[in-house]
Amino acid sequence: MLHVVGSPCIDVKDRACMDECPADAIYQGRRQAFINPAECIGCGNCALVCPVGAIKPLSSLPETWKPYERRARSIFETLGATTGGTTFEGTLPEPDDDLPLAG
């Protein structure tokens, strides 16, 4: 995983990041988008087009965003999508956890 979607994305659902990603590594969850760590190529296009600054490189991830990285990894591990080439339609299944429900 080279980029992470954090709390500013919650309830925004702009999807510009999904349209811009050349690797199709971004998937819609119930309340935010998630980047599949096995598919992200690190180009940064998603971060450039995000209107709310919700995507940051893993290398400069704020400490408060670490739970979002762990959550994304967990979602794709649960799906068995840890080697890339994920095919998933609809909304990602997300674990119930203590992340904030509003951005």
pTM above 0.85, yes or no: no
| pLDDT in the model for residue 20 | 95
Q: What are the beta bridge partners of residue 28?
A: 33
Q: Which two tokens stand for residue 82?
A: 């840890």
Q: Could you state, in order of their start, the residue ranges of all structural domains in the chain?
A: 3-78
Output the tens digit of pLDDT for each of the chain's 103 residues: 699 999 999 999 899 999 999 999 999 888 899 999 989 999 999 999 999 999 999 999 999 999 999 999 988 888 776 555 555 555 565 655 555 544 4
| pLDDT in the model for residue 79 | 79
* Fold type of domain 3-78: Alpha-Beta Plaits (3.30.70)
> Which stretch of DSSP H or E encloses residue 33?
strand 33-35
